Amino acid sequence: MPDLPLHVLVLEDHAFQRSVAVNMLRTLGCREVFEASDGDQALAMLQTVGTVDVALCDLQMEGMDGLEFLQRVGATGQVKSVIISSSLSADLRRAVHQMVALLGLELLGDVGKPLHIQMLADLLDKFANRPAMPQPPDAAITLADEGAVRQALAEQQLQAWYQPKFNLHSGEVCGVEVLCRWLHPTQGVISPALFMPVLERCGLLDELLFLQLEQALTVQRRARERGFPLNVAFNLQAVQLASGELASTLRSLLARHRTCGASVTFELTESGLLEAPATSLESLVRLRMMGCRLSIDDFGAGFSSLQRLCQLPFNEIKLDADFIRNLEHEPRCRAAISSTLALGETLGMSVVIEGIETDAQRRELLALGCTLGQGYWYARPMPADDLLNWLQQRSDQQSSDE
């Protein structure tokens, strides 16, 4: 009999099923197995025996149920990990999975009912042999100094980086998303998380956008001269739509770089657009009148309003990467992707899938009918010269393969 140095709590109100679970765990060699018929009894037992490694938890029971028990131990840290064992429907159990994650508990798995000993053994083995979790740093993230950020902006240390967008069928590069990196003279590349909130707080987002437009349109022209037409996409905050300078400045930049509005896309997150005022709508319409594309970014991550989607003049949807991360394990994510593709087709909007990290994801997305995507499986963000060299190398490779 294997020896698993684990302390396990079984929370189950049905006496026979609780007995089966306890015997299975002892057969599997768990060092100590405790049992409780409801949440109150389980909490009292934890006060006596201390922290347990695993709680095998039913959800529906008289007295304190499994949901309230999980809420309680999520706050106390008395349970290291959870295995759900419930006859509730799959959609309800999936919601509980999200709840467990939000409570900061580790979900080992969902064994349903009736229990199967091999499934239980695999999950216990997963816990016993998991790598040690890295400890989070004690210090919170410290935002960059406002003066240093202003200086970086003035000295153009804030540089546009580029992540390619692909046609999933052909592998053809159809555009790039423009991102921002701080190339600090002594500290190297600084994450946007450390300086973007400072720019927003200081009202400098427009200044950054116009700097990025200048940089990216220069790169776009260089790429076009080498035979690589690229659409360049910029992230735009909803608050920036109130600026009267946005459309006029963009028109001047496009004229100076001898390019058209159709070669530029603006990506806006849906959360800031639910109550777009008239001035914002005017800016969106002016951008579309110039030929620019408008993309609603991170679609599905907030409380999407289909009414607003129909009212606002977008012609592209970027589906949030979370749907792709959970594609393999969550049937509803597959349904959400299919529905978004159908919605895009009905509304005459293209759909871009974000966060593609594996070839398996790419193949499954192709099977669902996806056409456009981006993610680390294709390419990571890169500076301007690296992008141009990368495009040339891809072109040379394709020529040699023909």
Map out the domains of the chain as residue ranges: 4-128, 146-401
**What tens digit of pLDDT does each residue of 363-383 get?**
999 999 999 999 999 999 999
Please tell me the predicted confidence (pLDDT) of residue 276.
60
Neighbours of 100 (CB within 10 A): 20
- The dihedral through the CA atoms of 314, 158, 375, 329 has a sign that is negative
The reported pLDDT for the residue numbered 138 is 40
Q: State the Cα–Cα distance between residues 100 and 104, nearest whole angstrom.
A: 7
- Retrieve residue 281's tokens: 């709508």
Q: Which of 3-7, 61-65, 235-239 has the lowest mean pLDDT?
A: 3-7
CATH of 146-401, one of 3.20.20.450, 3.40.50.10490, 3.40.50.2000, 3.20.20.70: 3.20.20.450
- Digit-coded pLDDT (tens) for 116-174: 999 999 899 888 876 654 444 444 457 889 999 999 999 999 999 999 999 999 889 99
**How would you classify residue 326: left for phi > 0, otherwise alpha for psi between -120 and 50, otherwise beta?**
alpha
Predicted local distance difference test score (pLDDT) of residue 9 = 96
Percentage of residues in the chain with pLDDT exceeding 70?
A: 92
Residue 214, pLDDT above cutoff 50: yes
pLDDT at residue 137 in the model: 45
What is residue 57's predicted lDDT score, i.e. its pLDDT?
95
Q: Which CATH architecture has domain 4-128?
A: 3-Layer(aba) Sandwich (3.40)
pTM of the model: 0.71
Handedness of CA 167, 173, 174, 180 (dihedral sign): positive
The answer to whether residue 354 is catalytic is yes
| Catalytic one of 32, 354, 357, 402 | 354
